[in-house]
Amino acid sequence: KMSCYDLYPSAACGALRPQPLADSGNEPCVRQCPDSTTVIQPPAVVVTFPGPILSSFPQDSVVGSAGAP
């Protein structure tokens, strides 16, 4: 559980020291916590493109030439 503290002296509340929000006093005091900023990084997306398919067709045929003598 996070608690917010008023770190700045407030004359209206008579706060000369950091006081938690739950601190009760005789005078009504409203403390506003500063907005918290959270940077959310999107997850890395890995896109894989299929590479060229290299197929080899082994052939047992021998290419030659027969010439007339």
What type of residue sits at position 11? Answer: A
Nearest 5°: phi and psi at 29? -140, 135
pLDDT at residue 15, as a whole number: 45
CB of 9 closer than 8 Å to CB of 15: yes
pTM of the model: 0.17
From first to last of the 69 residues of the chain, give the pLDDT tens digit: 444 544 444 444 444 455 555 555 566 667 777 778 888 888 888 888 788 777 766 666 555 556 666
pLDDT for res 43: 82
Question: What residue spans define the domains of the chain?
Answer: 1-33
Is there a contact between 32 and 46 (Cβ–Cβ < 8 Å)?
no
Decide if 25 contacts 11 (C-beta within 8 A).
no
What amino acid occupies position 2? M
